[in-house]
Amino acid sequence: MLSLLRPALASVGLFTLLLGLAYPLAITGVAQAAFPQQADGSLIVRDGRIVGSALVGQAFTSARYLQGRPSAVDYDATGSGASNLGPLNPDLIAETSERAGAWRAATGSDNVPADAVTASASGLDPHISPANALAQARRIAETRGADIDQVRAVIANQVEGRTFGVLGQPRVNVLQTNLALDAAFAPEQPAPQ
């Protein structure tokens, strides 16, 4: 029995060291050397303070800022996920109708982009469509006392193209755009809320 158990325990010990310790440390080292900013979470720092991540959405409630997609998890990164309601579910239909009404009231537009009323699969999407972002320009300009064309220009400047020119859709990072709005229009606060 001991002659069978010894190789099994030695294999468990070896593979634990290799795959549980050496491999993760090697990958972490390569990631830190090759992509340090991404390996640390793509954190955005302003005035020596972390204000968020370029990869994780957060809630913005002030009318001075772009507001991201609705989140089924209230932007709680510890429990990301969707609502799991199907497209014909009456609760989802009521929820999106309510969101659409609120969006129309806030923007004054009847053209409601889908990403303005539907939550993302993760609940943490940091991006919105350019149409959604530009539709919010009037509210932001009025709240900040700024020219709407200048607000639109800041937003247009923040549009990211398709990944590698072919993957995904053009998008706007909400946090980075809000920081750009603060830089362009002298904020009341040092960082988005």
Report CA Rg, the chain: 22
Cβ-in-10-Å burial (0-12, 13-18, 19+) of 16 comes to exposed
pLDDT at 188: 54
Q: What is the mean pLDDT of each run of 10 residues along the chain (193 residues)?
A: 88 95 94 88 86 88 91 82 83 90 86 88 89 93 93 96 92 94 74 49
Burial 32-69 (b: 16+ CB within 10 A, else e): eeeeeeeeeeeebeeeeeebbbbbbbbebeeebbbbbb
49 three-state secondary structure: strand
pLDDT at 85: 82
pLDDT at 100: 92
Give CA–CA dist 115/108, Å, rounded: 17
pLDDT at 172: 96
pTM: 0.79
167 three-state secondary structure: strand
| φ, ψ (nearest 5 deg) of residue 103 | -65, -45
Region of 84 on the Ramachandran plot (φ > 0 left; ψ -120 to 50 alpha; else beta):
left
Dihedral sign of CA atoms 42, 45, 50, 54 in order: negative
pLDDT at 109: 83
* For the chain, domain boundaries: 1-40, 41-184
